[in-house]
Amino acid sequence: MPTESKQQENTAWRSEYTESPDVTLRDKVAEYFEERIHKPAMVAWADGRTRLGLLIMGVYVGMAIIAIFDLYRAPSTNQAPRLVGAFQSWDHPLGTTMSGVDLLSLVIHSTPEILLMVAAGGLWATATAIVVGTLAGYKGGTVDRVLMSFSDVMMAIPGLPLVVILAVTLNPKNPIILGILININYWAGLGRSLRSQVLTIREDNYVEASRTMGVSTPRILLKDIIPNLMPYVTVNFVFAARYVVFASIGLFFLGVLPFSTQNWGVTLNYAYNGGALFTWQAAHWLIFPMIAIMGLSLALILLGQGMDRVFNPRVRTRMAGESESTVKDDDAGMTEVL
């Protein structure tokens, strides 16, 4: 980690553990908002990838809200003429299926459960990896050996066959459980990687200072260690979420997961069995669910890349230096004019 980043971390540590008694609660709230919300938001918004990712993700959130509040007709058989082509009717802009189901309604009403699965799977994998990796790396000794042995066992089990067996056995229908099930052992590799980084971070001066002052282990992990892992964690959250998207779609398409859950993979399965892969008249039945899948994956990638600017202290330090140099140049220019 660069010297500037460590200096910023040490300054933050000193300010946290040596607060002035004259600071009021209002000042603390204002400082917290400025440092933890306003500045990170400005750093993220400065990146075009973040703005585009938020725009795309906003479309999916909007579709989820429409489905939850039933603002667009729910999909049902024989609600429209069969196999209407895309963009041929304002009543059915994306066309219809062979059963006369409006394709736009299928895409919209599949979105809430997809987003729930993605969020549950991504949070499960990253949160479990953070807990296991940071505890093992910081505590060491018996805790490290036990947690890493368990991680190695989970890594040795093939992920997809395990998911298939559990899905067939449990037949889960809740999207949150499905998301966790798909990433049931995804955390193991990330946890081991985080442990190796914690082994280095725990030897830094500011961590040693916190330990010497008797700061509790959870506080050291939350304040001193985990923030330095966030760039890596953010990227891997995106990978875990994308894995949930593609794995769930694939398992629904293959018929492994129960069809009682509305999902783009179910739509693809019916489209394939209905001959949409071989007939141009029904091609829209395959194309639009695939576009929805790729769009969600693209939004996750763009947001992950944009969040790197927020959590990466190197990027934030460089951006702060650039903004300071810009201000100095502007002041110099104004002086010359005057």
Distance CA 119, CA 333 (A): 49
Q: What is the pLDDT of residue 242?
A: 92
**Is 302 part of any domain?**
yes
- What does the pLDDT read at residue 334? 40
Please tell me the number of Cα atoms within 13 Å of 45 on its side-chain side. 6
pLDDT of residue 321: 53
Measure CA 160 to chain center. 21
Distance between CA atoms of residues 87 and 92, nearest Å:
8
Q: Is 173 among the domain residues? A: yes
**Residue 331: per-residue pLDDT:** 45
- Of 43, 116, 6, nearest to 306 (Cα)? 43
Tally the residues of the chain: 338
Q: Do 108 and 59 contact (CB within 8 A), yes or no?
A: no
Residues 6+ positions from 293 with CB-CB distance below 8 Å: 245, 246, 249, 264
Structural domain of 92: 24-312
219 within some domain: yes
pLDDT at 315: 59
Tens digit of pLDDT at every position of the chain (338 positions): 444 454 455 555 444 444 455 667 787 778 777 777 777 778 778 888 889 999 999 999 999 999 999 999 888 888 889 999 999 988 889 999 998 999 999 999 999 999 999 999 999 999 999 999 999 999 989 999 999 999 999 999 888 888 988 888 888 888 999 999 999 999 999 999 999 999 989 888 888 888 888 888 888 888 889 888 888 888 889 999 999 999 999 999 988 887 766 789 999 999 999 888 888 889 999 999 999 999 999 999 998 888 777 776 565 556 555 544 443 444 444 444 44
In sequence order, the 6+-apart residues with CB closer than 8 A to the CB of 30 are none
- Type and span of the H or E element at 138: helix 103-139
In a domain, 241, yes or no: yes
Whole-number Å distance between alpha carbons of 25 and 9:
23
Whichever domain contains 80, its CATH number is: 1.10.3720.10
Q: Is residue 19 part of a domain?
A: no
Domain membership flag for residue 7: no
pLDDT of residue 232: 84
Which pLDDT does position 291 carry in this prediction?
96
Residue 154 contacts residue 192 (beta carbons within 8 Å) = no
- Has residue 330 been placed in a domain? no
